[in-house]
Structure 1
Amino acid sequence: MYEDKEQAPRKRPLLRHAPLALIVVVAAIGAFTLRDYVTFDTLRDNREALLAFRDANFIAMVAVFVTVYVLIVAFSLPGAAVASVTGGFLFGLPWGTAFNVVSATLGAMAIFQAARMGLGRTLAAKMEAGEGTLKRIKEGLRENEVSVLFLLRLVPAVPFFVANLLPAMVGVKFRNFVWTTALGIIPGALVFTWIGVGLGEVFDRGEDPDLSLLWEPQIIGPILGLCALAALPIIIKAVRGKKGI
């Protein structure tokens, strides 16, 4: 009995790290085993079957699509862009965007909770007790949490999995993470869903969708404008701090 009580505290940290460890293992396996399958070629080869299934079983198709997309995001598997474009291809712009945003947000919530349960709790505790640089980082995040979360979502150069893991590691509020994720990914989701809406014509021409559309001036311009708006509160606070206002 005494030995069991001694071992119990040691097991709890391992259990806390288990969800994130599982995600890392599945992500590593998926990177090697799925990258040749979750592609636009696969979608092209199966598009007629997918459309037929959607027309006969719309609710079931939505459930399958959302489940697969959530798993892709939660386990950082390859194919998120393909899934987003598929949402537009199968469901059109309004519904496709809605399903893409809901699926990506649910997947992000899952990986956030897994990371916060393990490494995130440890790092957040260290930041809470830390002094010097750690203390300044902690206070800066606390004051600008929403703005930083929006920037992570809006800046196209930030990988989606990084924007999911980093907030969990530094102890941001879960509710702020959820609603900034849901709103912050809408611009990108609209672009990828829009590409998917015209996917049938692209396939008929024997081409692949052009995902570089995201970087066209008329697309990236408004997104960068949203980034500037998200960063504005941080800039104003920094200026006021320097001037002692």
Structure 2
Amino acid sequence: MPLTSAHNENANRSLQHHPAGRRLAVLLVKVLVAAVILLASWYVSQHASLETLRTTIAASGALSAWVYLACWIVLPAFLFPVPVLALAGGALFGVVKGTLLTLVGALLNAAFMYALARFVAKDFVTRLVRKHVSTSLQKRLLTTNQWQLGSVFFVMRLIPLVSYNMANYVAGITNIRFWVHMLETFLGIIPGTVIFLNMGDKLYQPGSTEFWIAIALLAVLIIVPLIIARAFFGEVVHERKHHNSNA
């Protein structure tokens, strides 16, 4: 025990006297994690597809639900398009079971990406937001007001054309609290999850009444949230256009 205590004390003293070394080690880890994300994102974009995903998960047999959950936790971090995941889930598990699995997987992924963004690139992404995002939206994203932040991300979740992946990463660099982030994610993704899962369930029934209903619901999912977003972010869009016209 005395030897161990002395060793730990010496190690702690050494770290205290080398803050530059600690900062360098942290920086190297961040760079490594960022590089892995970028390379994996490129690989996923080149090789992943709906049919490949569906076939791979189906081949897992009794473990297919667990494999699907694992895909949800990991793949969105590498910018894999989540609508493809949802379509695969609908095709494999149906609407009810697929929705439950998807909601669990999406929430676990949201927590993972939130933590990843805070660890890897908070300062860097904050600078990008200040540079490239309109002042009105900056105020909403960089505020400490939890109701305002939750509302912004909730509306973003409703819009299928807004990247779920990037919303997770951006949330990680804002002041939104973890449980607020999880709540807005859960509530915001429910409509899209159910409709995309239903579309996946009917995907292999082309021409059927159910298929066309699924298409109609998908159209509603795209159009209605855009109207809501226009009302919610109206001044942001106007300001951005004004800024671009003056540039």
Q: Same fold, TM exceeding 0.5?
A: yes
Which residue among 82, 85, 98 is the counterpart of 1:83? 85
What is the deviation of 1:148? 0.8
CA distance in 2, matches of 1:214, 1:17: 42
Matches within 5 A, 1:1-245: 5=18, 6-32=20-46, 34-35=47-48, 38-40=49-51, 42=52, 46=55, 50=58, 54=61, 57=62, 60-77=63-80, 79-121=81-123, 137=139, 141-143=143-145, 144-202=148-206, 213=216, 216=219, 218-220=220-222, 222-224=224-226, 227=229, 231=232
The percentage of counterpart residues that share the same residue type is: 23
Count matched residues. Answer: 211
8 Å CA contact retained: 2:125, 2:170: no
Amino acid at match of 1:109: A
Amino acid at match of 1:161: N
When residues 124 and 183 of structure 1 are mapped into structure 2, their CA distance, relative to the original with a 3 A threshold, is same
What is the deviation of 1:185? 0.9
8 Å CA contact retained: 2:69, 2:105: yes
When residues 154 and 138 of structure 1 are mapped into structure 2, their CA distance, relative to the original with a 3 A threshold, is closer
When residues 196 and 122 of structure 1 are mapped into structure 2, their CA distance, relative to the original with a 3 A threshold, is closer
Instruction: Give secondary structure in 1 for the equivalent of 2:144.
Output: helix
When residues 221 and 82 of structure 1 are mapped into structure 2, their CA distance, relative to the original with a 3 A threshold, is closer
What is the deviation of 1:142? 2.3
Q: Any gaps of 5 or more consecutive residues in structure 2?
A: 1-13, 130-134, 237-247
8 Å CA contact retained: 1:154, 1:185: yes
CA distance in 2, matches of 1:170, 1:119: 11
Amino acid at match of 1:76: L
What is the deviation of 1:95? 1.3
Q: Stretches of 4+ moved more than 4 A in 1?
A: 1-4, 121-125, 208-215, 224-229
- Aligned alpha-carbon RMSD (Å): 4.1
What is the deviation of 1:21? 3.5
8 Å CA contact retained: 1:73, 1:108: no
Q: What TM-score do the two structures reach when normalised by structure 2?
A: 0.67
When residues 31 and 187 of structure 1 are mapped into structure 2, their CA distance, relative to the original with a 3 A threshold, is same
CA distance in 2, matches of 1:141, 1:121: 15
